[in-house]
Structure 1
Amino acid sequence: MVYQYKNNGYNMVLDVESGSVHVVDDLSYDVVGLYGTHTLKEIQKELSGYDAGEIEEVYEEIRRLESEGALFTRDEYEDYITEFKRRPTVVKALCLHIAHDCNLACRYCFAEEGEYHGDRSMMSLEVGKQALNFLVENSGSRRNLEVDFFGGEPLMNFEVVKQLVAYGRSLEEKHNKKFRFTLTTNGVLLDDDVMEFANREMANVVLSIDGRKEVHDKMRPTRNGKGSYDLIIDKFKKFAEMRNGKSYYVRGTFTHDNLDFSKDVLHLADEGFDQISVEPVVGPEEERYTIKEADLPKIMEEYDLLAKEIIRREKEGKGFTFFHFMIDLTGGPCVAKRLSGCGSGTEYLAVTPWGDLYPCHQFVGEDEFCVGNVFDGVTRRDIVSEFKKTSVYSKEDCRECFARFYCSGGCSANSHKLNGTINGTYEVGCKLERKRVECALMIKAALADQSEE
């Protein structure tokens, strides 16, 4: 499959199966569009405004690229992923819901202020230890294991976080494992002790902030209704600086009420953050803040504006990383990962404060998706099997989508919320993902063009 589009003055040609990206002139762009369905003579007739000899040169170049597997490559992955899915899987990552409670009252929170459709609760040290034991016991020969401390707000149970990190470290040498801990926080309880600990022990830290003060305060108030921006901004700036090259990112959400979200991204960049993610909210159709189909033209325009600004700032030596424009054209995830997604329900599980296991944090509280617990292990293999079957080939909408190897079929939780099935897609999200991929590839082209000047 070949996908063509124009963006910011660049003619882009993507060979989907090989991942090859070509930036071409107008003639080549037009010939590619006709190649395969037209003979050379038919193309020369169709494009009579061009020189016939030049058309033939382009045509022969396309044939060469086709023979080298860089254009019009056949899809040979469906049988591969079907066979790959039959292999036994191991658990390699856990999302520990260390606290089902929160000190904010975010208006779009899918976790209902940290409660996840249940009672406020804190994970005990006993449950946390058993979760790490479960991970070790079910990780097979895999050495590198990932644990994310999540909530609610995990810093409300920080003593247990510290104790679990120490316990995890005590298991490493004995079992030939290496834990990679991460932390997601709203920052209200962030202080020097937490920063020092996180810089020592956390491979990555996610700092939740939506952008401009007025935007953040509207959607992320405290329990008493006051804004939280002023409580966290200086602490986040200090913490980002203290990370000193270690992984972190500020993570925000944009809604129907701030469709000019590029301003929020650039606000965060101007505040000194260089690792930024601002993502579209996913919510019930009836909620005012939910992204609507009618919002898409404005959002697409914002992504284009943001892409151009990223290029400009990069050229000025003031670049930053925007999570949704990150694409690795020379490496990145393996084919199996690109085809099958995040591994929720199979390689990745979420753990409630009382030890129940769910396919991911977004399914927590939906009893029909509870697959077991950390004491008894996975008992609902039927649910795991359903998640294991999902891939870009099990979702009809993905089969003809040029972005399928970049989004890996999208989010099963979003599909379930909006379609009632984990094996579907979220149409609005798909359209936004396709636009982000277009912008990301164009940015690569523009920066490569700059390096050649």
Structure 2
Amino acid sequence: MSTLQLARNNVRDLTVGDRRMLFHVPTSGLFELDAVSGRLIDLFAELGQVGEDDIRRAFDGVADPALVVETLRELITLRVIDDGVPGPAKAPISIKEFPLSTVVLNVNTGCNLSCTYCYKEDLTTPAKGERMGFDTAARSVDLLLQEAAARDSVNVVFFGGEPLTNLPLIRQVVEYAEQRGRETGKRIDFSLTTNAVLLTEEIVDWLDAHRFGITISMDGPKPLHDRNRKTVSGKGSYDLVSAKARMLLARYRSRPIGARVTLTAGVTDVQAIHDHLKHDLGFFEVGFSPVTSGGMTAFNLNGDELAQVFANMKALGQRYVDAAKRGENIGFSNMHQLMTDLSEGTTKSLPCGAGLGMLAVDKEGDLHLCHRFTGSSQPTYGNVEDGIAKDSLGAFLEGMANRTGTDCETCWIRKLCAGGCYHESYARYADPAHPTYHYCDLMRDWIDFGIRAYADITVANPRFIERHVAPRRGNS
């Protein structure tokens, strides 16, 4: 037997309670180590280079030699142990198909709020808003259905600015898309993120009838929300938005309603914000987006604040775990998404579906990686009139999937992160291909916490995973 060593970049060894666990990086799988496999891992971690005599000394009189050999072979097969034999050459990832599941329609660049931290480079006031026309929107739906031929269902997302400032178009698109869905035998779901200001009972009932997935942008209690989410005239919007949100939550029946929170400089109390939006207002789920790379640096969380945000997210995450053990879901969407990724064994070559499963459309019909890039200086990838520019889009995505020379190659969370958000990198480094290094240590700590939490829940109450996590995508 040749000298063997631990493939450290492929494993994460952890203890949860009295259980020894191994996180297998290439598959995002979580395994419980028995006495033999655990002792083998310890031996390799201690010695570095391990030979046959080392294994014999460690296990002589301790375990059945046949079991030791079998376990060692399994660890080599999983590439947990490196036997020095090169595996099959990894072929570069080639992307020729673009199986869209989602188009995001930027229906109006105008917005009736003037949030101080807004990242949208094409944002303007309602009077100056540039609205998408029906022909462009209809062609977007047709392109989606064409490229999603193998899918049973697709999603049309309405975005802005404030999408409800172009409600007549949204109504037209829904009628058209539902007709095309019937013609093609596909289910078409609709989603939008709104500041809630324009909601009325009639609009809510119409959205409910068409089963929209709705997310409300709110930043927490009144002092925090009014700090940055202001009207065009400069007044705080909390009183109006919270009243509209309460009305929506009281009337809406078809799908759960979530809140999206933007965390800016000086705002780190994740738990208090969650509790207000979840318990005082009644949102089903609350998710948090820290600002670290906005164009206006005064709103960016500094290093200490970002660390505090993650510490508070872990504290809320522990409450999620404690509730999950009781069979309860407290509605913390960042944590819930991480549990979903671990439950499904998610392994990423790309950080998200931008450009592959999702494209965003601006008012001219040009195609962008995602909604965050509309109005930016970044390249577009075709037009709804002519279709996807598959050569240039494929070249970009292949570059992202096959990129070398970065720390991502050896990072143990590489299959759950894949380098981080393109727009985050664009905003901070002026390059969407640049890994989000400013997040790395915090993300590794967050995912480590999540893995331990997942293991804890699966041991204490596996029914929670079956009831609340596994069906998540199907019910979204």
TM range (shorter): 0.7 to 0.9
Asked if 1:152 corresponds to 2:161, the answer is: yes
For 2:313, the equivalent position in structure 1 comes to 303
* 1:123 and 2:132 are equivalent in the alignment: yes
- Supply the distance in 2 between the matched residues of 1:183 and 1:208 (Cα, whole angstroms): 11
Give me the whole-angstrom Cα distance separating, in 1, the residues matched to 2:254 and 2:178. Answer: 23
Matching residue's letter, 2:197: V
Give 2:450's aligned residue: 440
Q: Which amino acid aligns with 2:167?
A: F
- Displacement of 1:435: 2.8
Counterpart-to-counterpart distance in 2, 1:281 and 1:376 = 36
For residues 418-443 of structure 1, the C-alpha deviation after alignment (integer angstroms, 9 at most, x for no partner) is 22333221112333332332222222
Q: Which moved more, 1:185-194 or 1:324-333?
A: 324-333
Answer yes or no: is 1:289 the counterpart of 2:299: yes
SS state at 2:344 partner = coil
1:421 aligns with 2:431: yes
Structure 1 position 341, deviation (Å): 3.5
- Equivalent-residue separation in structure 2 for 1:397 and 1:103 (angstroms): 42
Task: Return the alpha-carbon distance in structure 1 between the equivalents of residues 207 and 192 of structure 2.
Answer: 8
Greater shift, 120-129 or 377-386, is seen at 377-386
Q: 2:123 aligns with which of 114, 129, 137?
A: 114
Aligned to 2:177: 168
Describe the superposition over 1:314-363 as per-residue Cα deviations: whole angstroms up to 9, x where unpaired: 3455532322222236753765xx22232323442211123222221122
C-alpha separation in 1, matches of 2:73 and 2:391: 48
Pair 1:260-2:269 in alignment: yes
2:90 aligned residue (79, 91, 98): 79
C-alpha offsets along residues 299-327 of structure 1, whole Å, 9 cap, x if unaligned? 33213211222223334555323222222
Give yes or no for contact 2:351–2:417 (8 Å, CA) kept in 1. yes
Which stretch shifts more, 322-331 or 195-204? 322-331
Q: Which residue of 1 aligns with 2:469?
A: none
Correspondence 1:307-326 to 2 at 5 A: 307-315=317-325, 318-325=328-335, 326=337
**TM-score of the superposed pair, with normalisation by structure 1:** 0.83
Q: Is the 8 A contact 1:390 1:423 kept in 2?
A: yes
C-alpha distance after superposition, 1:106-137 (max 9, x if no partner): 11111158339x96212222221222223234
Match of 2:202 among 193, 196, 214: 193
Measured in 2, the distance between the counterparts of 1:176 and 1:267 equals 42
- What SS does the aligned partner of 1:148 have? strand
Unaligned runs of 5+ in 1: none
Identity %: 23
The separation in 2 between residues aligned to 1:89 and 1:451, in whole angstroms, is 39
TM-score by length of 2: 0.79
What amino acid sits opposite 1:328 in the alignment?
Answer: T
Pairwise CA RMSD = 3.9
* Cα distance in 1 between the residues matched to 2:377 and 2:352: 21
Check 1:77–1:363 CA distance in 2 against 1; reply closer, same or farther (3 A cut). Answer: farther
Shift of 1:376: 3.1
CA shift for structure 1 position 396: 2.2
Residues 39-89 of structure 1, C-alpha deviations (whole Å, 9 max, x = no match): 4986999x9xxxx959x9998896376267495599979836x34x24332
Asked if 2 retains the 8 angstrom alpha-carbon contact of 1:95 and 1:351, the reply is yes
Counterpart AA for 1:426: T
Deviates more, 1:402-411 or 1:97-106: 402-411
- 8 Å contact 2:106–2:362 — kept in the other structure? yes
Gaps of 5+ in 2: 1-9, 464-476
Rate the CA distance shift 1:452–1:417 in 2: closer, same or farther, 3 A.
Answer: closer
Question: After the TM superposition, which of the residue ranges 135-144 and 438-447 deviates more from structure 2?
Answer: 135-144
Letter in 1 for 2:90: D
**Structure 2: which amino acid aligns with 1:366?**
S
Q: Mean alpha-carbon deviation: is it higher for 315-324 or for 422-431?
A: 315-324
2-structure distance, mates of 1:151, 1:233:
20
Alignment CA distance shift 1:91-1:297 (3 Å): closer
Match of 1:95 in 2: 104
- CA deviation vs aligned residue, 1:3-43 (integer Å, no higher than 9, x gap): 23578998653111132224679998786355262549869
Q: How many residue pairs get matched?
A: 445
Cα distance change, pair 78–363 in 1 and its aligned pair in 2 (3 A): farther
Match of 1:387, SS? helix
CA-to-partner distance for each residue in 1:208-239, whole Å, 9 max, x for gaps? 11222221111211222222222122432443
Q: Secondary structure at the match of 2:401?
A: coil
Q: 1:450 to 1:125 in 2, by over 3 A?
A: same
Partner of 2:360: helix, strand, or coil? strand
Native 8 Å contact 1:395 1:409 kept in 2: no
